[in-house]
């Protein structure tokens, strides 16, 4: 059984799940802040806000992708590149913290490979000639074809 | 905008190979953990290491199959994803019953993580069953070399 969904729609479904996960994580951080009285300057606040912002941006981009809007693909590419840069900074910081602990450091390396693989696959997918052709072809109205054929 | 002409199925193969590599790195970490103490071997870490190596190999073999565009790789991965979905549901049910009902945050995080993993597998199945993606295989309509001959007639 084959489906005829556009590949970009499958990508949007996946990204929607990622944004739901980020929103739930942000909510968990918000609850943790509520239990802690002196937490106004805590880094948890920054993480909560960042997760919420990224999740909302992803949801907007997903809706754009499902509605076949042209701006959605560059938007996703920017988000994926920014994610890669932020992750590089995070890994550098974590590697400094875990200098004397080889096992967690190796696990961090494994997870970094996983996340970079997903980011690079996302970029490769969204810049694929076949995906872009399908995405842009669906935008055009089909009524033009019979007129062109009638002229011959 | 930058464009490349890799097949959709090959992109999926690259991603699966990357996931297999990351699992292998986690197995390497667990191997170090198992033999850290000189007088005894940590059995749990050994089991974990073996599990990660097996899953990694199960992913790497079809990933290479996808890169060289073999149709059996798609069937193999779809079966693997369905098994993983049922395994995830089982693990979620177990974790749900082991979590305290008053721990709403824990349940919410568990549900969020479950949604994420499930979405990955479902998206993988949808992707591998997609008509546009399967056109990448030779003989499935993706090869357009025969068209010129037809038009010449």
Which is nearest to A12 in space by CA: A52, A68, A53? Answer: A68
| pLDDT tens per residue across span A16-31 | 999 999 999 898 888 8
Of the ranges A7-16, A42-51, A96-105, B99-108, the best mean pLDDT one: A7-16
First to last CA, chain B: 37
How far apart CA B13 and CA B128 sit, in angstroms, is 11
In A, minimum Cα distance to B120 occurs at A14
The pLDDT, as a whole number, for residue B143 is 47
In B, minimum Cα distance to A107 occurs at B26
Task: Please indicate whether, in this complex, the C-beta atoms of A116 and B23 are within 8 angstroms of each other.
Answer: no
| pLDDT tens per residue across span A66-83 | 999 989 999 999 999 999
The pLDDT, as a whole number, for residue A72 is 94
A78 touches chain B (CB under 8 A): no
Q: Which of residues 33-72 of A touch B (CB under 8 A)?
A: none
Instruction: Find the CB nearest A10 among B3, B5, B127.
Output: B127
Q: A36, exposed or middle or buried, with CB in 10 Å at 0-12, 13-18, 19+? A: exposed
| Chain A residues closer than 8 Å to B3 by CB | 127-129, 132
Task: Please indicate whether, in this complex, the C-beta atoms of A127 and B111 are within 8 angstroms of each other.
Answer: no
Domain boundaries, chain B: 8-141
Instruction: Find the CB nearest B2 among A32, A120, A127.
Output: A127
Task: Average the pLDDT over A89-118 and give the result.
Answer: 88
| pLDDT tens per residue across span A140-152 | 445 545 555 555 5
Helix (H) or strand (E) holding A66: helix A43-66
| pLDDT tens per residue across span B70-127 | 999 999 999 999 999 999 999 988 988 887 777 777 788 888 888 899 999 999 999 9
Q: Structure tokens of B120? A: 């990955």
CA-based Rg of chain A, rounded to a whole angstrom?
Answer: 21
| pLDDT tens per residue across span A31-41 | 878 877 666 66
Task: Please indicate whether, in this complex, the C-beta atoms of A132 and B3 are within 8 angstroms of each other.
Answer: yes
Per the model's pLDDT, the better-predicted residue between A133 and A149 turns out to be A133
At B101 the three-state DSSP class reads coil
For the cut 50, the answer to whether the pLDDT of residue B146 exceeds it is no
The pLDDT, as a whole number, for residue A145 is 54
The pLDDT, as a whole number, for residue A89 is 92
How far apart CA B59 and CA B153 sit, in angstroms, is 46
In A, minimum Cα distance to B22 occurs at A110
How far apart CA B78 and CA B84 sit, in angstroms, is 10
How far apart CA A134 and CA A117 sit, in angstroms, is 24
| Chain B residues closer than 8 Å to A125 by CB | 8, 11
Helix (H) or strand (E) holding B46: helix B43-67
A3 touches chain B (CB under 8 A): yes
Domain boundaries, chain A: 7-144
Residue B88 φ/ψ, nearest 5 degrees: -65, -40
At A3 the three-state DSSP class reads strand
| Chain B residues closer than 8 Å to A6 by CB | 132
How far apart CA B28 and CA B22 sit, in angstroms, is 10
A124 touches chain B (CB under 8 A): yes
Task: Please indicate whether, in this complex, the C-beta atoms of B19 and A5 are within 8 angstroms of each other.
Answer: no
Dihedral (C-alpha) B98, B100, B106, B110: value to the nearest 10 degrees?
30
How far apart CA B1 and CA B128 sit, in angstroms, is 26
């Amino acid at each position: 059984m084959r489906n005829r969904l556009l590949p970009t729609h499958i990508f949007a479904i996946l990204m929607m799940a990622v944004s739901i996960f980020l929103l739930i994580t942000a909510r968990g951080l918000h609850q943790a802040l509520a239990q802690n009285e002196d937490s106004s300057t805590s880094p948890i606040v920054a993480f909560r806000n960042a997760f919420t912002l990224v999740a909302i941006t992803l949801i907007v981009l997903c809706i754009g992708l499902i509605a076949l809007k042209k701006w959605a693909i560059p938007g996703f590419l920017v988000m994926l590149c920014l994610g890669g840069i932020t992750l590089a900074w995070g890994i550098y910081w974590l590697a400094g913290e875990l200098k004397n602990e080889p096992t967690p450091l190796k696990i961090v390396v494994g997870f970094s490979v996983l996340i970079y693989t997903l980011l690079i696959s996302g970029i490769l997918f969204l810049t694929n000639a076949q995906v872009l052709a399908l995405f842009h072809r669906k935008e055009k109205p089909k009524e033009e074809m019979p007129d062109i054929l009638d002229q011959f | 905008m930058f464009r490349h002409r890799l097949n959709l199925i090959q992109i999926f193969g690259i991603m699966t190979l990357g996931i297999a590599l990351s699992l292998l790195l986690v197995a390497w970490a667990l191997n170090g953990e198992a033999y850290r103490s000189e007088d005894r071997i940590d059995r749990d870490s050994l089991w974990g290491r073996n599990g990660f190596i097996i899953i990694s190999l199960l992913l790497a073999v079809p990933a290479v199959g996808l890169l060289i565009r073999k149709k059996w790789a798609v069937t193999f991965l779809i079966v693997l994803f369905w098994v993983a979905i049922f395994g995830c549901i089982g693990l979620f049910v177990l974790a749900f019953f082991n979590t305290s009902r008053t721990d709403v945050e824990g349940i919410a995080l568990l549900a969020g993580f479950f949604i994420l993993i499930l979405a990955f597998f479902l998206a993988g199945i949808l992707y591998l069953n997609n008509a546009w993606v399967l056109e990448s295989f030779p003989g499935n309509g993706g090869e357009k070399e025969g068209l010129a001959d037809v038009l010449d007639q």
